[in-house]
Amino acid sequence: MAYCSKCGKQVEDNIAFCPECGNPMNTQNSTAEQQPQGQTPPIVETFNPTDISENKILACLSYLGILFLIPMLAKPNSAFCKFHVNQGLILFIAELILSVVACIPILGWIIAGVGGVVLFVFAIMGIVYALQGKAKELPLIGKFRIIK
C-alpha cells in the first residue's frame, strides 16, 4: 500500500489517482519511463507521512556518530527512523575504519583526512534528507543494509 503525497491517505497499489483528493499517484511505470536507460535510480522508499513528520528530528540524530543509538532505541517501530539509523550506522562504521587507518603514518593520514571530509559531507546530506522527510540513499554507502 502507498500513501498519497498530497493528502496522506493510504491508497491501493496500481491506482492512478488518489480517490480522496484526485492527486496523480506515481506508478513504477511512469518512474521507469523518466529514467535514462542503463542507469538505475537511487532507491527512494515511501513511508507513512505521519511517521515522517513525527520522527524527522530523531532521524537527524542518526548521522551524528554514536547518537544513531537514540532513534534506534526510542523509535524501534518507525520505518523512517530505521532507514536513517541504518545509514547512520554504516557511516559510523566507516568513521571507525578511518580512525584505524589514521594510525598509519603519512599515507593513512592523507586517506583519513580525505575520507573524513567525504563522510562529513555524507552526514550533512543525510541530515538534510531527514529534515526534508526524504529517505534517499547516500552515495557509495547507501546500498548496504544492516538494520532491516
Mean per-residue pLDDT pooled into runs of 10, the chain (148 residues): 71 76 60 47 65 89 91 90 92 94 94 95 94 89 82
**99 and 130 co-located in one domain:** yes
**34 and 51 co-located in one domain:** no
Which pLDDT score is estimated for 29? 40
Closest C-alpha to 66, from 44, 43, 35, 99: 99
**60 and 117 co-located in one domain:** yes
**63 and 108 co-located in one domain:** yes
- State pTM to two decimals: 0.66
**105 and 147 co-located in one domain:** yes
- The position carrying cell 547518537 is 67
* DSSP3 helix / strand / coil % (the chain, rounded to 5): 55, 5, 40
**19 and 77 co-located in one domain:** no
Q: Which structural domain range is residue 29 located in?
A: 1-41
Q: Residue 16 has what DSSP assignment?
A: S
